[in-house]
């Protein structure tokens, strides 16, 4: 049985980061500007702490100015909004990311709406979401941007292909559906209320899954030859019972990779697929925000 080509998101992300590093050098050398990224973490969620650390380290690695604000879980809405306001006004910061989810009691929508849309590197501000759906330029969420880069690299023109997006979050499913539509795909958006999800998925030439359900998509959900992007990141107990008993976990996607690989033509693994693309595209968004703010046309960015 043939196996799908595994799409190496890590290698692709390395290429994006190289382009970002060259763009940072161009901004510094030719214009005297250092792009700045501020990441805000509220509370002590361990997974969020890892994401935030990675974002800061990778921003530093490409030569950006990076600041991380770690606030206690009992931070008030007012304190958080005040910090966002300070970052909006800070000329050394071109991108602001408030790590989600926020602790209970904080209003995420109000915080997102308070971020200057020009610095909204997560692309979650209603103005940026509206611009995307209207086909206007703006900040687009990083994970869908990364998915589109992989699809265009692998398939070239996406026109006329049937894309099924499983999941409809503001961060992933909705913007991804908009980008697929803009690329002239026929787009179906599925979610937890979709009837006969397996049959809907089987229609897909391009199947993108972002639900947060470990290995939900099985072999008979996939049309032979489909391209499958697995966005999910789920921690499940280790396969080794002893390690599992000791609390060891492993990372799996929303797609049953082993079962689907013989059916799909191309597939992203977890880990090493979409995950690395997300941070690389975040850095790219931050550099683009900086260039846009200064009216600079970058030659280096991938």
Per DSSP, the three-state class of 115 is: coil
32-35: Cβ within 8 A, 24+ apart = 33/290, 33/294, 33/296, 34/63, 34/64, 34/65, 34/92, 35/64, 35/65, 35/94, 35/95, 35/286, 35/287, 35/289, 35/290, 35/291
Integer Rg of the chain from CA = 20
In sequence order, the β-bridge partners of residue 36 are 65
For the chain, list the strands marked E by DSSP.
5-6, 36-42, 65-71, 95-98, 162-166, 186-190, 206-209, 227-230, 234-237, 249-252, 266-267
Q: Does 172 bind ligand NDP (CB under 6 A)?
A: yes
Q: Which of 43, 117, 123, 167 binds ligand NDP (CB under 6 A)?
A: 167
Just list the catalytic residues. Answer: 55, 99, 122
Per DSSP, the three-state class of 12 is: helix
Q: Which of 104, 193, 195, 297 binds ligand NDP (CB under 6 A)?
A: 193
Stretch that binds ligand NDP, among 19-27, 67-75, 102-110, 225-233 (CB under 6 A): 225-233
Q: Residue 92 CB, nearest distance to ligand NDP (Å)?
A: 27
Restricted to residues 124-143, the positions that interact with ligand NDP (CB under 6 A) are: 143
Count of residues binding ligand NDP (CB under 6 A)?
23
Pattern of binders to ligand NDP over 204-223, x per CB under 6 A?
------xxxx----------
Q: Residue 289 CB, nearest distance to ligand NDP (Å)?
A: 19
Q: Does 123 bind ligand NDP (CB under 6 A)?
A: no
Whichever of 185 and 210 has its CB closer to ligand NDP, that residue is 210
Whichever of 27 and 209 has its CB closer to ligand NDP, that residue is 209
Other beta carbons less than 10 A from residue 107's beta carbon: 13
Q: Does 232 bind ligand NDP (CB under 6 A)?
A: yes
For residues 223 and 208, give the distance between their C-alpha atoms in angstroms, rounded to a whole number.
Answer: 13
Q: Which of 234, 238, 259, 272 binds ligand NDP (CB under 6 A)?
A: 234
Shortest CA distance to 28 belongs to which of 64, 66, 55, 68? 64
Q: Residue 53 CB, nearest distance to ligand NDP (Å)?
A: 15
For residues 149 and 152, give the distance between their C-alpha atoms in angstroms, rounded to a whole number.
Answer: 5
Whichever of 99 and 143 has its CB closer to ligand NDP, that residue is 143
Q: Does 54 bind ligand NDP (CB under 6 A)?
A: no
For residues 266 and 183, give the distance between their C-alpha atoms in angstroms, rounded to a whole number.
Answer: 19
Q: Does 268 bind ligand NDP (CB under 6 A)?
A: no
Whichever of 27 and 172 has its CB closer to ligand NDP, that residue is 172
For residues 271 and 147, give the distance between their C-alpha atoms in angstroms, rounded to a whole number.
Answer: 14
Query: Given the rule CB under 6 A, which residues bind ligand NDP?
Result: 143, 166-169, 171-173, 191-193, 197, 210-213, 231-234, 274-275, 278
């Amino acid at each position: 049985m043939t196996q799908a080509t595994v799409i190496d998101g890590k290698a692709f992300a390395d290429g994006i980061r190289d382009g970002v590093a060259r763009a940072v050098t161009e901004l510094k050398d030719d214009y005297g500007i250092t792009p700045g990224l501020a990441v805000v973490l509220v509370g002590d969620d361990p997974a969020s702490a890892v994401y935030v650390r990675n974002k800061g380290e990778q921003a530093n690695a490409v030569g950006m100015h990076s600041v991380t604000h770690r606030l206690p879980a009992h931070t008030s809405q007012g304190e958080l909004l005040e910090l966002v306001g300070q970052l909006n006004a800070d000329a050394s910061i071109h991108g602001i990311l408030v790590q989600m989810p926020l602790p209970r009691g904080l209003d995420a929508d109000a915080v997102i709406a308070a971020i200057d849309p020009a610095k909204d590197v997560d692309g979650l501000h209603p103005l940026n979401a509206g611009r995307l759906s209207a086909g206007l330029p703006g900040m687009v969420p990083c994970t869908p941007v990364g998915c589109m880069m992989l699809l265009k690299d692998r398939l070239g023109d996406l026109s006329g292909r049937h894309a099924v997006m499983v999941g409809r979050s503001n961060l992933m499913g909705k913007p991804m559906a908009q980008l697929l539509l803009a690329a002239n795909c026929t787009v179906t958006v599925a979610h937890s209320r979709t009837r006969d999800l397996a049959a809907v998925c089987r229609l897909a030439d391009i199947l993108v899954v972002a639900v947060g359900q470990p290995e939900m998509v099985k072999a008979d959900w996939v049309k032979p030859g489909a391209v499958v992007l697995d966005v999910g990141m789920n921690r499940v107990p280790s396969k080794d019972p002893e390690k599992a008993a000791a609390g060891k976990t492993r990372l799996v996607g929303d797609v049953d990779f082993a079962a689907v690989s013989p059916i799909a033509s191309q597939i992203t693994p977890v880990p090493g697929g979409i995950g690395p693309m997300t941070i690389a595209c975040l850095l790219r968004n931050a550099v683009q925000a900086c260039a846009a703010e200064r009216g600079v046309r970058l030659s280096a960015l991938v």
